[in-house]
């Protein structure tokens, strides 16, 4: 009888973890992006600028939400070397896609329109 209770508890815990994981990958991702998205993306942008571009940022602004679901958000920035020129990148968004993507990439033009 005790083994049956143990298996029921372990099975219930496993089901609860699966449900929680599904929530965090769907609705929870949006909640996380709302609270942490902008700061996470701007941190990725600052890291990219210092390591890849080898420039110090003068100003940076990123969108908090990944609206197209590609794992990146739009960011605009200026550098100390060119403070009057605003450049754009896409940087990793908060969520599973963003943690897998990491860093930033240039925006590609949309030729499908």
Has residue 6 been placed in a domain?
Answer: yes
This prediction's pTM: 0.68
State the total domains in the chain.
Answer: 1
Has residue 66 been placed in a domain?
Answer: yes
- Domain span including residue 80: 2-105
Has residue 111 been placed in a domain?
Answer: no
**What are 9's two structure tokens?**
């508890």
CB 60 within 8 A of CB 41: no
Write down the pLDDT at residue 106. Answer: 84
**pLDDT-derived band of residue 76, with 50, 70 and 90 as boundaries?**
very high
Top pLDDT among 105 and 100 is at 105
Has residue 56 been placed in a domain?
Answer: yes
Has residue 99 been placed in a domain?
Answer: yes
How far apart, in Å, do the first and last CA atoms of the chain sit? 65
pLDDT tens track for 7-22? 889 999 999 998 887 7
Has residue 16 been placed in a domain?
Answer: yes
Has residue 113 been placed in a domain?
Answer: no
Sheet containing 87-92: give its strands across: 57-62, 72-79, 87-92, 104-105
**What are 77's two structure tokens?**
């920035």
Looking from the CA of 61 toward its CB, the CA atoms found within 13 Å total 4
**What are 12's two structure tokens?**
């219930």
Has residue 101 been placed in a domain?
Answer: yes
């Amino acid at each position: 009888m005790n083994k049956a209770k143990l298996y029921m508890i372990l099975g219930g815990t496993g089901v609860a973890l699966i449900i929680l994981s599904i929530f965090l990958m769907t609705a929870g991702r949006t909640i996380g992006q709302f609270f942490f998205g902008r700061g996470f993306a701007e941190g990725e942008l600052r890291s990219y600028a210092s390591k890849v571009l080898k420039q110090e940022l003068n100003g940076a602004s990123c969108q908090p939400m990944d609206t197209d679901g590609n794992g990146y958000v739009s960011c605009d920035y200026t550098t100390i070397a060119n403070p009057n020129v605003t450049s754009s990148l896409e940087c990793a968004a908060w969520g599973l896609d963003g943690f897998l993507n990491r860093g930033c990439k240039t925006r590609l033009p949309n030729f499908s329109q």
